[in-house]
Chains A and B, each alone.
Chain A
């Protein structure tokens, strides 16, 4: 079974600084997708960024970028120019290619990010 590990339960960053959240995963699949989701106190899970495993290039979305190391099964999220609105729980998630017959996301336990003004 696939597992996703986020080793940092809590992190903090100064406003305008950069922070990196770590995620590792375990899978025997070759094709899969990785996601970072943000969950603010409003509870709604918001997609931050997505990475297809077959793509070598790291995904970026404005201030958010990932460092995807397929061989190491590592998928870290970098937030640049941190803003107060970035404070939230961040979840790393894995999903195999649907050809494997699975449509579920497997989530890590999350990292609570605090942004210090």
Chain B
């Protein structure tokens, strides 16, 4: 059974550009969550999608957006990149997004903004 796949694994972008990250959940999982991990702030919740609907959003500016497709794959987009957006972005999938289901994380996308 394939795990959660995040692409690309590494990305270098210039300040002011935009970036799109992709997450393919485990087959059959309909919930996808995104987290930003930085040394200073730790792991912070970005948003969660279930069946193409955003159910939760974290405290991030509007430059951070996401979407989920009918096959449950999800993308997150960051526009007008800032140096502070450099981070490891992790995606997690779950059958229904319920705690008793558990979450499976991908290996993340390391974004560096220069």
Q: How many A-B residue pairs have CB under 8 A?
A: 58
Q: Contact at B90–A103, with CB atoms within 8 Å?
A: no
B66 within 8 A of A: no
Chain A, residue nearest B4 (CB): A44
Q: Contact at B56–A44, with CB atoms within 8 Å?
A: no
Q: Contact at B92–A45, with CB atoms within 8 Å?
A: yes
A60 within 8 A of B: no
Which B residues, 73 to 114, have Cβ-Cβ distances below 8 Å to chain A? Answer: 88, 90, 92, 97-100, 102-108, 110
B28 within 8 A of A: no
Number of contacting residues on B, CB 8 A? 26
Task: Give, as a whole number of angstroms, the nearest-CB distance from A101 to chain B.
Answer: 8
Q: Which of B's residues lie within 8 Å of A, judged by CB?
A: 31, 33, 35, 42-43, 45, 48, 50, 55-56, 58, 88, 90, 92, 97-100, 102-108, 110
Provide the bound-state CA to CA distance between A35 and B2, in Å. 23
Instruction: From A19-27, A62-70, A76-84, A107-115, give the one contacting chain B.
Output: A107-115
Which of chain A's residues have a CB closer than 8 A to the CB of B88?
Answer: 43
In the complex with contacts A45-B92, A98-B97, A98-B99, A104-B58 CB distance below 8 A: yes
